[in-house]
Structure 1
Amino acid sequence: MFGKQKKLKKEMDQELLVRIRKMKYEWESLDTIIEQSIEPSEEGLNDLALVKAKYFYLLREARYRGINALS
């Protein structure tokens, strides 16, 4: 029974790491677009703030789980 729980935890941790990398890529992409824009739209700025908040939330979850997400 404990082996199954460890395997499930490991799978969830890997999924969390994948999501963190995806959010970081999205954040960097949107940030680049916003920086290159002459007059960024309000919607673009809101999307950037939302992706940034999601990214930091996932990082906090990784810290809570005791996994290193930045490597």
Structure 2
Amino acid sequence: MFSRKKTVKKEMDRELLLHIKELKREWETLNTIIEQSIEPSDDGLNDLAVAKAKYFYLLREARFRGINALS
């Protein structure tokens, strides 16, 4: 009974780490595009803000779960 919970928790932690890595890449890509733009569009800036907010939210969730997301 307890091993099932641990297995599910480990799987969810792995998925969380994958999502964090994907969002970090997305955020860095959008940031690079915005920095290289002469006049960044409002949509681009909004997408950047959303990606950043999602990334930091998942980092807080990882800290709450006690996993190291930055390794």
The bucket for the TM-score relative to the shorter chain is: over 0.9
Paired letter, 1:5: K
After superposition, the CA RMSD in angstroms is 0.2
TM-score by length of 2: 1.00
Task: For structure 2, list consecutive stretches of 5 or more residues without a partner in the other structure.
Answer: none
User: What corresponds to 1:36 in structure 2?
Assistant: 36
Q: CA deviation at 1:31?
A: 0.1
The 5 Å alignment of 1:1-71 reads 1-71=1-71
Number of matched pairs: 71
Paired letter, 2:19: R
TM-score by length of 1: 1.00
